[in-house]
Structure 1
């Protein structure tokens, strides 16, 4: 740990975990931290490109656009596999845990203002090795999420055009459009696209709910609980978790806020909106379609309405992928140019590097999408490899770092310590079992479907 980090630790030793932020504000307000010393973007006063521009409500909507995208489309089939009652309990439980771990990430950012990514947080945990491990993991996670959007776009276009051309061509179209959409360098500009993304997925989901209600008229049987094989049920559980694992991007969101202390308000916006949408869409679509519901769920509407729903979902499939691509590119860009004038300049080197980074990452995402072309299996793999750690495992470790030396100082601390141990154990379980189950499913389901022009709808 470097000297500046140690000095920050010394300043706030002994401060209670839920009260240290106000105390920190008294000594050194988070919004007044020296840009040169602690902020990942340095001094922006004279820079051409300014990053710290977003209000808490903008950040909240941007987080909704990142989280409430294609993950919602897998939920009705997960409910069909697990049953109505277990699914509702799991969704509410996962939402509560995700809310808490997001708050811990914010606390960690307030304690160490220089953190911009999971890589920076890893350096605090484990030095240079931790920086490389968590930074690489975050980058791979985002690239895999980008791949899931490329895959969904190919399914979408095959539905809309009745397989009008080779599926690989649709993947290339998604690649090109996403690269162009990710050209802005600041989150503030990407925010405006995120509004369209959010409205798009809401419109598509509501259209599907209305369509299945009209078509099926509640004539199918639904089950409070179900009984399937372990692998199938665990894949469904992984898909529920995938809808909440956007935490890898939260350090970056806080870094581009004008007042980072307001991030808990952004978390509240995210959790209320996404959990409400998840419950409503999953329950209603399963209620009318039953166990035969498709994944992505938009395919469960009739022939015409399925096309309408997929058409409405075009902005969210593209834009939510662009948001993740922007965050991935920003991580690499900041890692390369942090502390230099290129961060705030519009030079050939700075602009050219930004474009090149985005292009390389989107090409990698396209390759992954063509190599793992099964929607649910790809989501489960992403959750097992990366999502469970960034959303649950590492935040639990952050809590222990934040409260080092006072884990048993009060009843509340003991309770929180036990809770974080359980959250860490949950992440380890999700990773181990998830890798086995998703690997087995990919092995069974991708035979003959990899790198093919065939219709994947």
Structure 2
């Protein structure tokens, strides 16, 4: 059956339903027609989606950016942050166009089925769940560091992780993203204020005799290890399909994505530059840990809501993918049934428990996050977007001739795929080498240790 194109240009000429969604969109959309349903998913405005995107992406990852500048230098580091932000905006546009063209896509797994068939669906769905669980674990570790700083390290680190895991699990429980959207406003406010506090603290009490380099000459291994920080600070595209699927007006999705990328790129660049200039080349990752104790506590304390909400969003996404896969086109998706709620609560518990066990039980968990990011986030954020455009242009028009006709866009998409492949391969190489070096130096602790 021929698919209809729902690009933005076509919306104005189409009849609009009462929900302001394009006519015919709900017939293929993952959640279908929701009139009269107990649980309605498609309720988000683009403004709330933008806030959700910011809450998910602008989190503990930004705290590693000043240390990246310390490795490559101030100017190359800022150029890289801005370039990756512009690049992520471009791939966001490709992703949104693909979603509007294919309303049935709910996750990267669904997109994988369109691009590569059943095997593609399973691989990308698996990658989404794995990366979401690892990202949840990363937020648990961020919470661990924050709680330890706030209490002067009086408890075992594993206990801090367990304490933080409980509210993370509870915040994951709402069935719809609308249930998390207003909490995300608090989350975004907390990371903005925490970052400002961190920059002010660095300015008030800068590191004495600090070294600030405009450009640093370093090895490929050290440089790429540092480059992965800004690369993966933008790694949130794997949730975009899920968020757009719960919008009232999916045609407004690019407004949310553009708001996210503009804010993230600007905030990342300013925070990284100011923090590095005042703390110098000895700045730690996360950078709040380089601040004097009183400022460190203030910054971490204010950032806690963001760490909580980001972890909850990741666990929610992993659970939502499996839940929708099981109950798609079933009454349990939209009704308050015992089976539906029982399955949802079980999945939420399972995803959060997996993240907790990995975070405290695997000594090389931080490195495994790097491996998962290289394998999946490099593609989800960058590389796979090129396939989206090439696929639709080929099938909607006259195949290879369409690619030749729009050669500039074709070239950009091929380069996007190549960049994703490079980040994937190089990221795997440097992460695996870092694991070997860490074991050789005795830096790896025992499982479930303090």
User: Residue 98 of structure 2 corresponds to which residue in structure 1?
Assistant: 108
Aligned to 2:10: 23
Q: 5 Å matches for 1:172-211? A: 172-211=162-201
2:328 paired residue number: 338
What's the CA shift string for 1:222-251, capped at 9, x where partnerless?
111112332221111111101111000111
Residue pair 2:136, 2:355 contacting (<8 A) in 1 also: yes
Q: Which residue is 1:16 aligned to?
A: none
**Partner residue of 1:425 out of 407, 418, 422:** 418
Distance, in Å, in 2 between the alignment partners of 1:153 and 1:435 is 26
Could you tell me which runs of 5 or more consecutive residues in structure 1 were left unpaired when the two chains were aligned: 1-5, 13-18
Task: Judge conservation of contact 2:108–2:241 (CA < 8 Å) in 1.
Answer: yes
Contact 2:138 2:366 in 1 (8 A): no
> Conserved in 2, the CA contact under 8 Å of 1:145 and 1:382?
no
2:434 counterpart of 1:441 = yes
Q: Is the 8 A contact 1:54 1:257 kept in 2?
A: yes
Task: Specify whether residues 125 and 278 from structure 1 end up closer, same or farther in structure 2 by C-alpha distance, changes over 3 A only.
Answer: same
Q: CA deviation at 1:35?
A: 6.7
How far residue 173 of structure 1 moved from its aligned partner, in angstroms, is 1.8
Distance 1:266 1:56, change over 3 A: same
The secondary structure found in structure 2 opposite 1:205 is: helix
Pair 162,444 (structure 1): closer, same or farther in 2 beyond 3 Å: farther
SS in 2 for 1:44: coil
Sort the Cα spacing of 1:375 and 1:225 in 2 relative to 1 into closer, same or farther, 3 A. farther
- Residue in structure 1 matching 2:447, options 423, 447, 451: 451
Contact 2:61/2:233 (8 A) holds in 1:
yes
Q: How does 1:237-252 map to 2 (within 5 A)?
A: 237-252=227-242
More off after superposition, 440-449 vs 254-263: 440-449
Aligned residue in 2 for 1:7: 2
Q: 1:151-188: CA deviations, max 9, x gaps?
A: 11111122111222221122222222211111111111
Are 1:161 and 2:151 an aligned pair? yes
**In 1, distance between residues paired with 2:444 and 2:118?**
42
TM-score (norm 1): 0.91
- Is residue 64–residue 286 contact of structure 2 (8 Å, CA) maintained in 1? yes
| TM-score, normalised with respect to structure 2 | 0.93
Aligned mates of 1:247, 1:361 — CA distance in 2: 19
Distance 1:338 1:409 in 2: 35
Matches within 5 A, 1:39-438: 39-216=29-206, 219-371=209-361, 377=367, 380-404=370-394, 405=398, 408-409=401-402, 413-438=406-431
Cross-structure match for 1:15: none
Q: How many residues align?
A: 441
**Are 2:43 and 2:178, in contact at CA under 8 Å, matched by a contact in 1?**
yes
Unaligned runs of 5+ in 2: none
Whole-Å Cα distance in 1 between the matches of residues 363 and 69 of structure 2?
22
Alpha-carbon offset, residue 330 of structure 1? 0.9
Specify the SS of the correspondent of 1:31.
coil
Deviation at 1:323, TM superposition (A): 1.2
Distance 1:33 1:365 in 2: 41
For the aligned residue pairs, the C-alpha RMSD in angstroms reads 2.1
Mapped to 2, the partners of 1:178 and 1:251 lie a distance apart of 22
Q: In the alignment, is the contact (CA less than 8 A) between 1:241 and 1:383 conserved in 2?
A: no
